[in-house]
Structure 1
Amino acid sequence: MNKPVFRLGVVVNPFAGIGGALALKGSDGADVREKALAMGAEKKANEKMAKALSIVEALSEQFTIVTAAGEMGEDVCASLGLPFEVVYKSASQQTEGEDTERAVQAFLNCNLDVILFAGGDGTARNVCKVVGEKVPVLGVPAGCKIHSGVYCVTPSAAGQVISQMIKGEIVSVMEGEVRDIDENAFRTGKVIAKHYGEMRVPAELTYVQAVKMGGKEDEALVLDDIAATISELMDDNPDTYFVMGSGSTVGAVMEFLGLENTLLGVDVVLDKTLVASDVTASELLSLTQGKPTQVVLTVIGGQGHILGRGNQQLSPDFIRAIGKQNMRVVATKQKLQSLGNKPLRLDSGDAELDASLQGAFTIITGYKDKVLYNAE
């Protein structure tokens, strides 16, 4: 009995990444693409897909490709002499995100083993909108923004993963997060990342990147991601008082919101409006009594305190009233790593309360990225 032929879907966003070299901070939108082309930008996405597919050239008798016409996949497959079938053709020369969606919609009727796509986070959003978790997907990084966890670290690495699949080698499947940032906000210096879903990603873990978390050099971006998460919480809870504890990380959230901040004090925000600054413990209790309230805290670097250092205005009576479930702790992973595995510290001034708060806290470390960390 003959071995079934491996069926690979290939789609390229030919305009992915054209705004990057010209500092246009992305390629989303026909006006941006037109501007980039007018400035002499070169389309590189097919070149990157070629690097991925060249890895599997020698296996061409073991697979067939389903693709879209022209620059959306046909051209690169033909240039490498790979077997392919075109199942979608765009009505216009300048393709849009909707064309990616229509192409992968056509792919869903073709009994594919995996879809390989070249683009950036916008392309990942288009693919996710249609495919979801129906078919495994793998991204060839070609865009200005690569925050999503569905991309390999390089085009050649993507080819290596597909090669393993074609040869029938064991390949793990993991959930890859699709994220994208608001390009207009990014052009003004703000990083507002949003979560758009998950897709199934074939993974040889050496090759598939984690969602960007930022290292030391990216700390400002990580702080913006943390702030964007708190901003969304406020959007979802407009009637909730957000008590902003002291510290530079909380200060970064306030700066993101465009609000004045008391670095070594406690402020109160309602519906993204500053309603009280540098409050005392009694003022805080009076203002929030009987009202939905959350508190945003950070970790004191090197020490690990989340209560009792610079935020004594958060009295035991206040913490008891809101409960542990309404304590939002924010910190970069770099700050947590600096603790050297030491626990978070609780020093509210009430030993019984501190004991009741011990155990795992959920720490917001990025945009919809959280870790569990123990407190004692």
Structure 2
Amino acid sequence: MKIGLIVNPIAGMGGKVALKGTDGVVEEAIRRGARPIALDLARLFLHELSHYPECRKIEFLTGADGLGEDALKDFEFSFEVIKHRKIKYKNVLGVEIPDTTSEDTKTLVRLMIDSVNLVVFAGGDGTARDIYLAIDKKKPILGIPTGVKMFSGVFAASPEDAARILVEFLKGKAKVIERDIMDLDENAFRHDELKPQHYGKALTPYVEFLIQGAKEPSKTNEAEDVEAIIEALYEELEDGIYFLGAGSTIKKLKDMLGIKGTLLGVDIVEIRNGEARLLVKDAQEKDLLRFIDRNPKIVVTIIGGLSFLFGRGNQQFSAEVLRHIPKENIIVVATPSKIEKGIVRVYTGDREVDEKLKGYIRVRISPWAERMVRVI
């Protein structure tokens, strides 16, 4: 069986450095300290896949150098490289990155579409959209999550889960169904405007619990419930340092505290004698680490549809940050509809940290009630 593999080499670089994405801002991401992560996550996918005897059936068709070849050459998979053009590299502040664009992704898809059974890609929503536009519904696609937001429904929950889905696909046990392709206006996103757009539906191999949902808008009839939960939480906050996460739910808390926080970023706040002070607006991972020795608490919500607590759109809460935060210092607020599946997800890329977070966590679902929800 032939499988296409395409890597977007800059995907995800904007996450930890609070850029909400990487398209068009890769130099700024590097200036803030970001480094490429997509190839490493593609290697995690391939490493997991290599454990299954079914992988011996696979012949990969991939792009040159950082577009896929550099990941595959570290393993013993059979693969063929499509050299559609010579890939040049550029040095940005000492970091070497392939000089590629979305056109390289689309070209590779068009060149492999007639030869492969499935296209697997490492990237985010922008990469998913590019592949969908080039492939339409001629072949199924599956995303290895390496971007920042990943609101589309074509992504596995983790690189390792992408490998497990591919194995089920090889065995003929994965249903191929239509899944939403979503993307945001990243420039608007960086200016605290949420402008999601639905581009269509792609064919995707589906295995329950291994593939994520697509982003769902907040339910308008729950606005009063959210307000009541936040008001109750506001009254209970003790003095200390708080890392306040992204989203409209937590933004209500920021407004109630009287700080000019971000809608879509992480803000660091100190409460002293009942008064809140904004210490860092739109914080990066390195900002959070500066306050890690002051016993901070995290306040976050769950992304509707995706069921993610950490790992989608809030990579500032990295494994390095979460390693130092006790589980009891994580305050989760959400309306009942966001936890109706009975699970929430975390993925930091660090097995030890993910295991620490797994089990059960308290979720505040009303002014007077909490629910224990399983973390997977």
TM-score (norm 1): 0.55
Q: Deviations over 1:87-142 (max 9, x none)?
A: 134444311111111111111132x1111100000000100110111101100000
Q: Deviations over 1:36-64 (max 9, x none)?
A: 22333111111111111222214343111
Q: What's the CA shift for 1:205?
A: 1.3
CA contact (8 A) 1:9 1:67 kept: yes
> 2:211 maps to which residue?
208
> 1:120 maps to which residue?
124
Q: Decide which structure has the larger Cα Rg and report it.
A: 1
Q: What's the CA shift for 1:165?
A: 2.0
Match of 1:187 among 187, 190, 204: 190
Q: In the superposition, relative to structure 1, how do residues 100 and 336 fare at CA in structure 2: closer, same or farther (>3 Å)? A: closer
CA contact (8 A) 1:67 1:84 kept: yes
Q: What's the CA shift for 1:169?
A: 3.8
Q: Deviations over 1:278-326 (max 9, x none)?
A: xxxxxxxxxxxxxxxxxxxxxxxxxxxxxxxxxxxxxxxxxxxxxxxxx
Consecutive unaligned residues of structure 1, counting only runs of 5 or more, are: 1-5, 224-332, 339-376
Q: What's the CA shift for 1:198?
A: 1.2
> 2:6 maps to which residue?
11
- Counting only pairs closer than 5 Å after superposition, residues 227-306 of structure 1 correspond to structure 2 as none
Q: Which has the higher contact order (CA 8 A, sep 6+)?
A: 2
CA contact (8 A) 1:191 1:221 kept: no
> 1:360 maps to which residue?
none
Query: Could you tell me how far apart the structure 1 residues matched to 2:2 and 2:71 are?
Result: 17
Between 82-91 and 20-29, report the one with greater CA deviation. Answer: 82-91
Aligned length: 221
Q: Deviations over 1:314-342 (max 9, x none)?
A: xxxxxxxxxxxxxxxxxxx958799xxxx
Query: Could you tell me how far apart the structure 2 residues matched to 1:132 and 1:83 are?
Result: 27
CA contact (8 A) 1:176 1:198 kept: yes
| Percent pairwise identity | 32
> 1:197 maps to which residue?
200
Over 6 Å off, 4+ runs? 214-219, 335-338
Query: Could you tell me how far apart the structure 2 residues matched to 1:163 and 1:132 are?
Result: 23
Q: Deviations over 1:331-354 (max 9, x none)?
A: xx958799xxxxxxxxxxxxxxxx
1:99 and 2:94 aligned: no
Report SS of the residue matched to 2:73. helix
CA contact (8 A) 1:88 1:106 kept: no
> 2:63 maps to which residue?
68
Q: What's the CA shift for 1:35?
A: 1.9
- The AA in structure 1 aligned to 2:202 is M
> 1:160 maps to which residue?
164
Q: In the superposition, relative to structure 1, how do residues 187 and 337 fare at CA in structure 2: closer, same or farther (>3 Å)? A: closer
Query: Could you tell me how far apart the structure 2 residues matched to 1:211 and 1:62 are?
Result: 31
> 1:129 maps to which residue?
133
CA contact (8 A) 2:117 2:140 kept: yes
TM-score (norm 2): 0.55
1:40 and 2:29 aligned: no
Query: Could you tell me how far apart the structure 2 residues matched to 1:137 and 1:55 are?
Result: 19
CA contact (8 A) 2:17 2:33 kept: no
